[in-house]
Amino acid sequence: MLRREKGMKPAWRLRDVTLSDLRKRKHEVAVLPFGAIEPHNLHLPYGTDCFEAEEISARACEMASKKGARVVLLPTIPFGSNRSTMKFPLTINLDHSTLATIIRDVAESLASHRIFKLVLVNGHGGNNLRHILKDLYGKTKVFISLINWWQVGTELRARLFEQKGDHADEMETSVMLYLRPELVDLEKADAGPVRKSKLRAVNEGWVYIVRPWEIVTTNSGYGDPRKATAAKGKQYVDFTVQKIADYLIELSKTPLTKTFPY
């Protein structure tokens, strides 16, 4: 977690600034993190997706701001699409139609303030936001782009982590051990086993289905997290933050034209 001296205020974080602060600054890019509230095996908190998306976005905004990018970090949307994990207690679900309305309304608010570039930083695999961007195309003046943060370092991920998975696995646990170690209890983790489908095509990956998470997994984890370390998490987060920051800098400095972004 980012630490600052008492009284210091990050000018790029909207929730921390005042009206007088904002009147002194011009913003080109708004960053909106998306999380979810759902179980993450037995060792990670329900807010894991929120913590990861917000902290990675914050670090990227801070880095980009120091290099001249005119960015503003919006408050994190804490809920996501979670119908497939609703059998676990206190999972909170928002339908994609609700997520689409949120994105549209935020974009229109930004446009009224003359901010025409919006970056969504998604922290939850169940938030399939690409089709929302397609539906909004041509309906808003705001250029909207999407980053699934865990996909930014795909090549590094393959080299760095020994165990494959996609939920509360070695990678995600390593990231949380680095970002919020006080919230991780690795001794409670199960091995993250998953049940194979009776349908071969589903197991081969070329047929898509919605997975009933309470049947597919034992305790909602997918992938063995027990080789996770904070050092691995730091390496992956640092790499990811640098790439996102570079994108924010480029996006901020590229003028809007009739053919933007081409």
pLDDT tens string, the chain, 262 residues long: the values are: 555 545 567 889 999 999 999 999 999 999 999 999 999 999 999 999 999 999 999 999 999 999 999 999 999 999 999 999 999 999 999 999 999 999 999 999 999 999 999 999 999 999 999 999 999 999 999 999 999 999 999 999 999 999 989 999 999 999 999 999 999 999 999 999 999 999 999 999 999 999 999 999 999 999 999 999 999 999 999 999 999 999 999 999 999 999 999 9
What was the pLDDT predicted at 5?
47
Structure tokens at 2: 């980012």
Nearest to 14 by CA among 150, 115, 145, 130: 115
Q: 3-state DSSP call for residue 19?
A: helix
CA atoms within 13 A on the CB side of 203: 7
Place of tokens 């309305």: 101
Q: Which residues contact 252 (CB under 8 A, 6 or more apart)?
A: 28, 29, 64, 68, 69, 70, 71, 117
Q: What is the DSSP letter of 255?
A: P
Can you tell me the distance from the alpha carbon of 215 to that of 196, in angstroms, rounded to the nearest whole number? 10
Cβ contact 172:52 at 8 Å: yes
Nearest to 104 by CA among 148, 144, 159, 56: 144
Structure tokens at 231: 């050092």
Identify the bridge partners of residue 13 per DSSP, sorted by sequence position.
73
Please give the backbone phi and psi of residue 234, each rounded to the nearest 5 degrees, phi first.
Answer: -60, -45
What's the sign of the alpha-carbon dihedral 204, 206, 207, 213? positive
What count of other Cβ atoms lies within 10 Å of the Cβ of residue 140?
17
Place of tokens 């997975």: 211
What was the pLDDT predicted at 3?
56
End-to-end CA distance of the chain: 36
pTM (2 d.p.): 0.94
Structure tokens at 246: 């570079």
Place of tokens 């993250």: 192
